[in-house]
């Protein structure tokens, strides 16, 4: 049985005051005994403070991005070792907003994935198709290309230490989530693709769904056999919504 996970991607939102209020509310509501992993992904500048704040709580902290290089003359970038240094354990790589607005291609994402692992971080690898790609019947082709780039550069064994997030681009921040059947079809495809190279890892890897997950749709999405929880954007900024999504994940176990 794979342990469900709920990951809250705060994107470029927050302030010291807002983060503190959100974390206080979450700490009151989240039940440490729930059989799930919960993590939040604040912007870089708040990571150290959020780690300090959550010390002793059963909530992990991750970054939203990492530099592909281990360190050096790369102004504005943040190395994986620095994220580890301030207490992060996870990092998102290949989010569609990074792919789209910062032109991160599959090769860069694969290098970031490797850099995260080299620094001792668990990468959360995002894959997903655009609406045009889905409508052209290319969903599996696109997901396979994104996944294969990581597998080819890093090897299938690295997936044992990673999490995959299926995030259809057309569902992110749009209020239009994939249906449970649409999500399940892609999750099963991702699992099969990994299992073709290593059946054990394919069976064990956690695959999160992301794209307009809310309290109202979490339970039906998480009830699908290959959906192991969610990567949640907007709803992770609302304590009651996020708490209800975590409760749905716990109930799906
Ligand atoms: C995301 O940021 O990864 C995401 C899925 O956002 P939202 O839940 O707001 O669609």
CATH number of the domain that 102 lies in? 3.20.20.70
In a domain, 32, yes or no: no
pTM: 0.98
The b/e string for 99-126 (b: 16+ C-beta within 10 A; e otherwise) is beeeebebebbbbbbbbbbebebbbbbb
Single out the catalytic residue among 97, 129, 133, 167: 167
Helix (H, G, I), strand (E, B) or coil at 87: coil
In a domain, 181, yes or no: yes
72 CA from centroid of ligand 1 (Å): 32
120 CA from centroid of ligand 1 (Å): 25
171 CA from centroid of ligand 1 (Å): 8
Tell me, what's the pLDDT at 47?
A: 98
The whole-angstrom separation of Cα 196 and Cα 92 is 24
In a domain, 157, yes or no: yes
Cβ–ligand 1 distance for 234 under 6 Å, the answer yes
- Number of structural domains the chain divides into: 1
Backbone phi, psi, residue 163, to 5° = -125, 140
Cβ–ligand 1 distance for 9 under 6 Å, the answer yes
Catalytic residue flag (residue 77):
no
Tell me, what's the pLDDT at 193?
A: 98
Tell me, what's the pLDDT at 253?
A: 77
Tell me, what's the pLDDT at 90?
A: 98
In a domain, 55, yes or no: yes
In angstroms and rounded to an integer, the radius of gyration of the C-alpha atoms of the chain is: 17
In a domain, 183, yes or no: yes
In a domain, 245, yes or no: yes
Backbone phi, psi, residue 194, to 5° = -75, -40
Tell me, what's the pLDDT at 129?
A: 98
Catalytic residue flag (residue 167):
yes
Backbone phi, psi, residue 62, to 5° = -130, 165
The whole-angstrom separation of Cα 146 and Cα 5 is 22
In a domain, 33, yes or no: no
Structural domain for 142, as ranges: 5-14+17-25+38-252
Tell me, what's the pLDDT at 1?
A: 81
In a domain, 30, yes or no: no
Q: Which residues of the chain have pLDDT under 70?
A: none
């Amino acid at each position: 049985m794979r342990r469900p996970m709920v990951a809250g991607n705060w994107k470029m939102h927050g302030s010291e005051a807002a983060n503190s209020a959100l974390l206080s509310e979450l700490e009151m509501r989240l039940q440490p005994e729930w059989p799930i992993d919960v993590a939040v992904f604040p912007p870089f500048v708040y990571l150290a403070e959020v780690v300090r704040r959550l010390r002793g709580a059963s909530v992990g902290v991750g970054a939203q991005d990492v530099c592909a290089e281990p360190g050096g003359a790369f102004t504005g970038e943040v190395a994986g070792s620095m994220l580890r240094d301030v207490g992060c354990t996870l990092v998102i790589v290949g989010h569609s907003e990074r792919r789209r607005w910062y032109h991160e291609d599959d090769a860069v994402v694969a290098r970031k994935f490797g850099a995260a692992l080299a620094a001792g971080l668990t990468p959360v690898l995002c894959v997903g198709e655009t609406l045009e790609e889905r409508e052209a019947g290319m969903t599996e082709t696109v997901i396979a290309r994104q996944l294969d780039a990581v597998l080819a550069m890093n090897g299938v064994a690295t997936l044992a230490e990673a999490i995959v997030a299926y995030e259809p681009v057309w569902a992110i921040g749009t209020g239009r989530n994939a249906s449970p059947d649409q999500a399940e079809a892609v999750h099963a495809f991702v699992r099969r693709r990994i299992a073709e190279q290593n059946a054990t890892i394919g069976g064990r890897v956690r695959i999160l769904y992301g794209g307009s997950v809310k309290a109202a749709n979490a339970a039906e999405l998480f009830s699908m056999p290959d959906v192991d929880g969610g990567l949640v954007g907007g709803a992770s900024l609302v304590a009651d919504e996020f708490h209800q999504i975590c409760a749905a994940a716990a109930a799906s176990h």
